[in-house]
Amino acid sequence: MDACSVDIFGRLNFFLSDCLESGMEMTEIIEFLLTSDIGERRSQLFAASVRWTIERPVAGRRCHVITHKMGFILSKIAFVPPRNKSILSAVAVFCKTTSGVYIPLVHYDYPGAAYTLMFSHGNACDLQQADGFLLHLRQVFRCSVVGYDYIGYGHSYQIGSVAGSRTEPPAPSEDGCYEAIDAVYHYVSETLRIPVDRQIWLGESIGSGPTVDLVSRLAQLEKRVGAMILVSPFWSTTRIVSSVLPWIVDMFANGAKIGNVEAPVLIVHGERDELILPEHSRWLAAECVDAQLELIVGATHNTVFLTPQTFETVGDFIDALPHNWRASIYGLPERE
């Protein structure tokens, strides 16, 4: 998540805490939010949060609708897709999700590689911006690489009412990320025919959400991936800044899912991460069956993937996997 998103979540937490401590009635808080000049998006977020606090005990459909609306507002804050669309890579293909949205995907093959790495980018990036980085990962880690966009990002689209016409996709959302990564998994497994145990799923920042969700669901189906790598992950989005908000509403509950993962897990976090504290990675590692935690000295949220130590750590982790690159058709035996 970017600094703006964290700032809004933080302000919400402090605001609710102050109101509750002052003894204000919930109806008074809502009235204040809707009439104060604090910005439309922030006002909507605050008001929805307080409404959820009031109506949380209500069971049935009404409770579900409130939760859904709150999730929509949080999505508007958590996802910051680039506004300007650059030219898409010539090798890109489009995968159709279960809701009918098409998302772009690129596959950069590394001849003879034992593993293919699927990369889920952060919230303020898209596939085309990450294209050069994907090629760098391919070269450094000596494995094939797949990158993709979430629904609502980059060149994702849906078919309009006029036959063949492309229209704007739905706004980015948690469910949209899950749909996108599911489509990527089916493409990688069925079209590229890459066995599950040769797949490495890497999620950076908000990309850890769909990554943990997919790998944990595969584990429940007794499908164990080759490995999972998380860079700057979080326990859940709202827990980044608050111990109060998670019981109101939450997104990407990685902490509740990661315990299902039985594959080797590497968690990398910048020791000086100012947006997502390293404690999140410690909490996640403690829940894992098989996890290696590496804190990168001096790295912040936006520099952790610019640090040589990160690439060395990830490279060593991949090399140590059972079907590592040394077993490929182009690999050379170890020197004695």
Give CA–CA dist 309/296, Å, rounded: 7
Hey, what are 171's tokens? 């706004």
Q: Is 33 helix (H, G, I), strand (E, B) or coil?
A: helix
Give CA–CA dist 164/153, Å, rounded: 20
The amino acid that residue 237 corresponds to is T
- Given 107, 155, 280, 301, which residue is catalytic? 301
- Given 205, 232, 236, 281, which residue is catalytic? 205
Residue 121 a catalytic site member: no
Residue 173 a catalytic site member: no
H-type alpha helices, 170-274: 174-186, 208-220, 254-257
Quickly count: other Cβ atoms within 10 Å of residue 219's Cβ: 20
Residue 144 a catalytic site member: no
- Given 49, 273, 280, 281, which residue is catalytic? 273
Q: Is 144 helix (H, G, I), strand (E, B) or coil?
A: strand
Q: With DSSP H G I counted as helix, E B as strand and the rest as coil, what are the percentages for the chain, rounded to 5?
A: 45, 15, 40
Hey, what are 218's tokens? 């595969």
CA angle 238, 7, 300 (to 5 degrees): 85
Per-residue buried b or exposed e for 131-148, using 16+ beta carbons within 10 Å of the residue's own CB = bebbeebbeebbbbbbbb
Residue 154's contacts (CB-CB under 8 Å, 6 or more residues apart) are 81, 82, 85, 88, 104, 126, 127, 128
Give CA–CA dist 153/278, Å, rounded: 28
Q: Which helix (H) or strand (E) holds 116?
A: strand 116-120
Catalytic residues: 205, 273, 301
